[in-house]
Structures are given as C-alpha cells and as structure tokens.
Structure 1
Amino acid sequence: MQNKTFTDQLGRTININYLPKRIISLVPSQTELLFDLGLDEEVVGITKFCIHPKEQFKKKVKIGGTKTLNIDKIRALNPDLIIANKEENQQEQIEALTQEFPVWISDINTLAEALTMIKQVGELVATKAKAAQIADTIKANFDNLIPSSKPLKAAYFIWKDPYMLAGKHTFIDDMLTYSGFENVLSESRYPEIDLETLQQLQPQVILLSTEPYPFKQKHIEELQKYFPRAFITLVDGEMFSWYGSRLLKAPAYFSNLYKNLTINLPIK
C-alpha cells in the first residue's frame, strides 16, 4: 500500500493507505453507491438506515444511525476509510472520528455536486471508470427529462410534529426543479411551518415524503381539509433525497410522477 492524498467536498485534505480495504459508510445513498461500484468485500460497516441493497444490509455490521454513531463499534472495525456527509452526520461525532481515522466528507445540495461526489468516490476506491459511467448515465438521463413549461407550485413535507418542509438550497429543492415543480417556500434548508402560513402560499401540489418521516395515506386525509384545492400525494423520498447511484432511477420516476399529477390535478 502507498499513502495517497485526496480532497473532500469540504476542501479538507485526507491521507489514506491506498487502496482502502476496510471502508465504513455513514450515509445510505453513498453506501448503495459503494456496493454498485463492486465493493462488496471492502465495505465492512454501515448504518442501520443503509437498507440498499437488501442482501448487503443483512450481512454487514451496523454501526448505529447516521446521527447516532457507535464509535466503539467503528473502532472495533478498524477502518482505513470512512465516508460521511456534512448534513446527514452529526458534526461532533465526525470531528471525533477524524482524530483517529481518515474521513472523507461530502457536501451535496445539487445534482452537479452529486455527480462530482460519485466521481470523487470512484477515485477514492479505485473504481474511477465505473463511477464515471454511473455519473455520465445519470447526467444523460436527467438531460433527457423534458423541462416543464408550467412548473407546478409544490410543498414538500419531510416531517410531522412539527411540520417541516424542504426549502431552498437543498438537494430536494434541486430535484423538485428537475421534476417539474416550483418550491413555494422561499426559506432555506428545512424550516418548520404551520399549516395556516402554508395555506397563504397556495401550493397546487403537496408531496408527502416516505422518509425521514414515514407519511401514510392517513396524513393525506388530515391535510386535505386544510388544502381542499391542492392535490396531495405520497412520494418516494429516496428518489428526491438519495444522491448516489439511486439517481439512475430518479428521472423515470420524476417523469411518471409529473404526468400523473397533471392528469389528476384539480386546478388546471
């Protein structure tokens, strides 16, 4: 092995023993990417939320949740590379891990940054060609999405009690734009919002994500009385918020979602 230097998406420099043979991933979408890059043996630890692919989820050691890492379990696995994310992981825990292990951190708010991450991870783990193929295919699929001439005004719910929505400067907001929606929120990140305030923004469509909060049919019924003229539907949160190789499937999902909504939308 040789020592090699890389720069992560926060501009931090990390040194790793190249090639890494004991990798821990702290982010579900990046975990799926690693397996799609063929690193079945090299990935030794994942979080309890890294559910794809299912066969690997069953086999791999779980090192806690994305924001509740079990540092002792991580130490026991003795990783030579940890892959994390600025938003999804807890800052204090990541800072503690950087004192003991090489930690590469992504920071993703747009499709372009996701594509960069995929290629950079490919370089990290010596699967550069495969990573470039995945990134290029994702880009081509998104380029083939037909832009909407009339974006639907949408509100994207991620949490309940309190209600929290995806605002500007988020990866979800970028996905909304690609999929034919205009985010009714002007606030950044993930603001709490009361339903009376949201009523004034008059969303045509309300999207209830399946994650991180598991919205169900009953929540559609609860919200419909506040928004009788809006079309309220459940959406696959992985398609809007996972920024790894799952993006290969997102454009087709977005296209079908937009078509179905424009057919059913009560407001033309």
Structure 2
Amino acid sequence: MRPGRRLVAADAVSVSFGPRRIVCLTEEPTETLYALGEQDRIVGISGFTVRPPRARREKPKVSAFTRARIDEILALEPDLVVGFSDIQAGIASELIGRGVEVWISNHRSVAGILDYIRRLGAMVGTGPRAQAWADELARGLDAIAEDASRLPRRPRVYFEEWDEPLITGIRWVAELVRVAGGDDIFPERAAEPLAKARILADPGEVVRRAPDIVFGSWCGKKFQPGKVATRPGWDAIPAVRDGELHEIKSPLILQPGPAALTDGVRAIAAHIQDWGRRQG
C-alpha cells in the first residue's frame, strides 16, 4: 500500500465525530466544551458568558438568555445549538422551524449537572473524558462534604436569588449548600424549578426561620448586605445580628454547570467554615 493511502486511512480514523459547529445559548455548554478541549467546535456563545474568560474574546456573542439573534445564528451555519430550560423554548422553536438541530437541557440538580457533562461529552465524541471529569467533580464535592462533617453544628442558610421580589434558591443551590455543611431554610421551595414558584411573598418568613447565614446572588446586580440588614424586622435574624451576610457571585452559582460544582460550592463552603470556626 502506498504511504499516501495509509495516511488517508489514519486521518479518517482520527477525525472526531459529532457536531462540528455548535452555538451555545448559555454559559454551561461553553465552559464544559472548553474544559473538554473541544472549544474549536463552538462558533457562537451567549453574551452573558464569563467562563472561561477567553471565550468572550474568541467567540461571537449571538444571544442573551431569553432573546437570540436568529439570523446571526443561522449565518454561523450551526449543526447543533445547545441551550437550557423551558425559558428558551421560544428560541429553540424558532431555530427548529428554520431547520436547526437544538438540544435544550432542563436539569436542576447536582446529579443533573454531572449527567449533563457526561451527555454533552458523549455528543461530541469525548465520552470517556467527560465521564472522568464528572467523576473528578463528584469526588471534589465528597471532599467538601467530608470537611463539613467536622463542623460543630450545621448553620441554617437563606439563599436569596433576587430581591425585588424576594426569590429563594433553586434546587442545585440548596443541594450545594448542604454539601458545604449548611441547611437551606426553604427546602420545599428549592424543589420548584421555576423562579415564579420561589417568590417569597412574606419576607417575615425569613425572620421566623432564623437563618445563621444569608447568601445573596442577585443575578445581574451586586448584592447589598446593608440593604438586606435594614429590612423591617430582619435585625432579629441571627445572620443579620452577627454580620453573616455574604455575596456569592451569580456566574459562580446560578448557572447549572461546572462553575457551580467548583468555585461556587467552594465559595459557599469557605463562608460556612469561617462561621463554624467562630462558634467555638
């Protein structure tokens, strides 16, 4: 066999399969594909993407969360568009109607995030690498939980996703609070997938549930502890009394992707561990 033919055969075997031109409508597929070394497949990203930072420099921004520039996406000739949640159903429907293949994930739990990484990896031909990374992330969570098991007691935690109106934390956030050693004070609300079902009509309910720590992650604006502390009646809350009002940056925790399982949960754990040391 001629050398040239052998090279062609070898090249054919080495070509990876799966979609080659991917548009990511949210941050978590972008971060996942970069981490798996498959960033060259990405041809467009969400304007809200901040992780990894290089993605904003390298990739055109073609969508927000509830809006997308459909014509610009079509001009990129994607063979797959990846988005998240029923909130993007309208974008997905329009793209599907224009002949584009779309995958909208709808996971809301830690287990769902790990499975999302595995599935996306499998779709681009890096299943074993994605599985190994998901296993590594799970071991990291186990290590944080092991550290948390040595706390003198578990703090009661209120996680505020928005302030006007008050919206409590979603399921994966409540689960990561638990991994880090705390107990979410609104577990029944965390199970609700839609933000409108987690609106807290009575702020006094937070006072009655008396959290030891308050975390704020107001998507799109800076958390203001001083504003929280001056809410009527909130001076009776242990977290307010003790100055345990902390911001968790929304890109770290409010995206159901790798950031939440790494920097997000570690930021929560650091504050809980500091609280634990002060309990004496």
Measured against aligned partners, the alpha-carbon deviations of 1:68-107 in whole angstroms (never above 9, x if no partner) come to: 11212111111101111115x4222222222321111222
Task: Provide the rounded CA distance (Å) in 1 between the counterparts of 2:251 and 2:53.
Answer: 15
- 1:104 to 1:55, Cα distance in 2 relative to 1, 3 A: same
Q: Based on CA coordinates, which of the two structures has the bigger radius of gyration? A: 2
- TM alignment of 1:90-129, pairs within 5 A: 90-99=88-97, 100-129=99-128
> Which residue of 192, 195, 205 corresponds with 2:213?
205
Name the one with the larger helix percent. Answer: 2
- 1:53 to 1:224, Cα distance in 2 relative to 1, 3 A: farther
TM norm structure 2: 0.79
- TM alignment of 1:93-242, pairs within 5 A: 93-99=91-97, 100-145=99-144, 146=146, 147-148=148-149, 150-167=153-170, 170-185=171-186, 186-187=188-189, 188-189=191-192, 190=195, 191-193=198-200, 194-209=202-217, 211-223=219-231, 226-228=234-236, 229-230=238-239, 231-242=244-255
- 1:96 to 1:77, Cα distance in 2 relative to 1, 3 A: same
- 1:223 to 1:166, Cα distance in 2 relative to 1, 3 A: same
- 1:73 to 1:227, Cα distance in 2 relative to 1, 3 A: farther
Amino acid at match of 2:234: Y
Query: 3-state SS of the aligned residue for 2:33?
Result: helix
**Pairwise CA distance, 1:197:** 2.6
RMSD: 2.5
Amino acid at match of 1:240: I
Amino acid at match of 1:241: L
- 1:92 to 1:30, Cα distance in 2 relative to 1, 3 A: same
Amino acid at match of 1:173: A
**Pairwise CA distance, 1:213:** 4.1
Query: 3-state SS of the aligned residue for 2:125?
Result: coil
Query: 3-state SS of the aligned residue for 1:58?
Result: helix
Task: Provide the rounded CA distance (Å) in 1 between the counterparts of 2:40 and 2:78.
Answer: 13
| 8 A Cα contact 2:252 2:263, kept in partner | yes
Unaligned runs of 5+ in 2: 1-16
Amino acid at match of 1:162: P
User: In structure 2, what is the equivalent of residue 7 of structure 1?
Assistant: none
| 8 A Cα contact 1:137 1:248, kept in partner | no
Amino acid at match of 1:227: D
**Pairwise CA distance, 1:164:** 1.4
User: In structure 2, what is the equivalent of residue 14 of structure 1?
Assistant: none
| 8 A Cα contact 1:209 1:234, kept in partner | yes
Name the one with the larger strand percent. Answer: 1
Task: Provide the rounded CA distance (Å) in 1 between the counterparts of 2:112 and 2:142.
Answer: 16
Task: Provide the rounded CA distance (Å) in 2 between the counterparts of 1:256 and 1:117.
Answer: 26
User: In structure 1, what is the equivalent of residue 81 of structure 2?
Assistant: 82
**Pairwise CA distance, 1:222:** 3.7
Measured against aligned partners, the alpha-carbon deviations of 1:179-224 in whole angstroms (never above 9, x if no partner) come to: 1121111324332223223212211211111535431354355459
Query: 3-state SS of the aligned residue for 2:40?
Result: coil
State how many pairs are aligned.
247
TM norm structure 1: 0.82
